[in-house]
Amino acid sequence: MPERQPLPSRPAPSSRRRFGRRTWTDLGLQSGALVLAFLLTSVILLVAGAPPFQAYVEIAKGAAASFTDISNVLVAWVPLLLASAGVLVTFAAGLWNIGVEGQIVLGAVLTTWVLRLLQDTSLPPAFIVVLAIIAGIVGGALWAALAGILKTFGGVNEIFGGLGLNFVATALTLWLIFGPWKRPGIGSMSGTEPFPEQLGLPTVGGERLSLWSLGLGIVAVIAVYVLLERTHVGLRLKAVGLNQRAAFLLGVPTWQYALLAFLLCGGLAGLAGAVQVTGVYHRLIPSISSGYGFLGLMIGMLIAYKAIWVAPVALFFAALNIGSIQLPIVLKLDSTLSGVLQGALVLFVLLVEGARQRYSRRAPSTMVAGPVPGTSPPDDVGAV
């Protein structure tokens, strides 16, 4: 009976009581982590022989110097918003949806498929685009469901399932781009034949930014926030994430909720893929997900699974990404510098969080919840 499936492995153990109120001390600690991350990156820059301060100035300029820059940041913001909102749902249910990357890809693939299928019909273009986006959502959700089913019924840990499915998704895109969907003549890494302009989302002022996708991203984040904080579905997802056995005994249909979390996350990831195709690239390209899925997972960890922080943190990451594009030209630095900074940031935030928990177990009048397995004594008669 699937109701007796093994417990889902939990994300970071501390996620268990991440639903409390964030205090000012926490904020102070997080800013400390930010400073440390910049320090570490500066050291790396110095070692590489580049002036750190100038590099940061260049990043800031690259992200906000012109309307184009700002709109590019927003363009990168949308898929990040969607991916991180999605992983929050799976995190809440205690699941590491590593497969989010592949779910973005599948969203893009299905969107492309529907666009290709319908582009020569006489249907109104707007209708085709809407259908294509829905197909993208479905594609992402199904790909996630696959990871979920592998886990629930096949006993495959979602991390391994997700990783495998990511590879399959990448292979699938490459095959499509160089095989059945290749451009007339030769297939190339630049992707499939671009769709006509009317089959894309309308953009603002000649930039790649579409208010539609921006709206979708923001609505998704708000919806996830409301879902997790204000609804019974969210509460049950958290219950499943925190203690699956007890949730089941208290009457929560656990595997169904785990699957639901996958579906929701996959749907949002698929939407991200659909937006990349219809709003940004207007075709399927080999690296359509651009690592936004993994970045979304990082953001999820960084913000300690609190939906309210998705928007600003994702914006910061988007700005870093776009801002550092100019680095190779100006400072002869690799643009992956933003990756270093982001990685350092996540590491330091997790480190500071670990330290905070250690500290708070000591500090007077702080909650000593101590559910981190093995670090706190069970209650006297807790278990026999």
Partner 1 sequence: MEIRLIDIRKHFGPVKANDGITLTVPAGTIQGILGENGAGKSTLMKILSGYQHADAGRIELDGRPVHMRSPADAIRHGVGMLHQDPLDFPPMRVVDNLLIGAPGRLIPQRREAVSAVAGLAGSLGLSIDLKAEVGSLTVGERQQLELLRLLWLGARVLILDEPTTGISARQRQELFDTLRRLAAQGKTILFVSHKLEEVEELCTRVAVLRQGRLVGEALPPFRVERLVGMMFEREVTPGERFACTPGKTLLRLAGLGAEHGRIRLEGLDLEVKAGETIGLAGMEGSGQSLLLQTCAGLRPVTHGRIYLDGADLTGKTYRQFKKRGVAYVPATRLEEGLIPGLSLADHFLLTENKPGFFINRERGRRTAEERIARFNIKGTPTSPVESLSGGNQQRALLALVEPGSKLMLLEHPTRGLDVESVIYLWSKLKERCGRGEAIIFTSSDLDELLRYSDRILVFFAGRVSEPLDAATTTVDELGELIGGASRSGDPVDAVSAWPGGDGRAPDDAGCHASGAPENGDA
Ligand X SMILES: Nc1ncnc2c1ncn2[C@@H]1O[C@H](COP(=O)(O)OP(=O)(O)OP(=O)(O)O)[C@@H](O)[C@H]1O
Q: Is residue 363 near ligand X by the rule CB under 6 A?
A: no
Q: Write out the two tokens for 188.
A: 């190339």
Closest C-alpha to 140, from 200, 181, 99: 99
* Cα–Cα dist 98/275, whole Å: 20
Q: Is residue 382 near Mg ion by the rule CB under 5 A?
A: no
Residues making up the chain, counted from first to last: 384
Q: Write out the two tokens for 293.
A: 């899925």
Using CB under 6 A, pick the residue from 47, 380, 383, 384 that binds ligand X.
380
Size of the site for partner 1 (CB under 8 A): 45
Taking CB atoms within 8 Å and a gap of at least 24, the contacts of 248-252 are 248/3
Size of the site for ligand X (CB under 6 A): 3
Q: Is residue 368 near ligand X by the rule CB under 6 A?
A: yes
Task: Please identify, using beta-carbon distances, which residue of 3 and 380 lies nearer to ligand X.
Answer: 380
Helical (H) or strand (E) element with 271: helix 254-275
Q: Least distance from C-beta 63 to ligand X, angstroms?
A: 44
In three-state secondary structure terms, 380 is coil
Q: Which stretch binds Mg ion (CB under 5 A): 73-81, 139-147, 335-343, 373-381?
A: 373-381
3-state SS of 61-95 is HHHHCCHHHHHHHHHHHHHHHHHHHHHHHHHHCCC
Q: Least distance from C-beta 377 to Mg ion, angstroms?
A: 10
Q: Least distance from C-beta 134 to ligand X, angstroms?
A: 48
Q: Is residue 19 near partner 1 by the rule CB under 8 A?
A: yes
Task: Please identify, using beta-carbon distances, which residue of 211 and 246 lies nearer to partner 1.
Answer: 246
Per-residue contact track with partner 1, 246 to 285, x per CB under 8 A?
A: xxxxxxxx--------------------------------
* Cα–Cα dist 11/96, whole Å: 6
* Cα–Cα dist 217/79, whole Å: 7
Q: Which residues of the chain form contacts with ligand X (CB under 6 A)?
A: 367-368, 380
Q: Which residues of the chain form contacts with partner 1 (CB under 8 A)?
A: 1, 3, 16-17, 19, 230-236, 238-239, 242-243, 245-253, 361-362, 364-365, 367-371, 373-374, 376-384
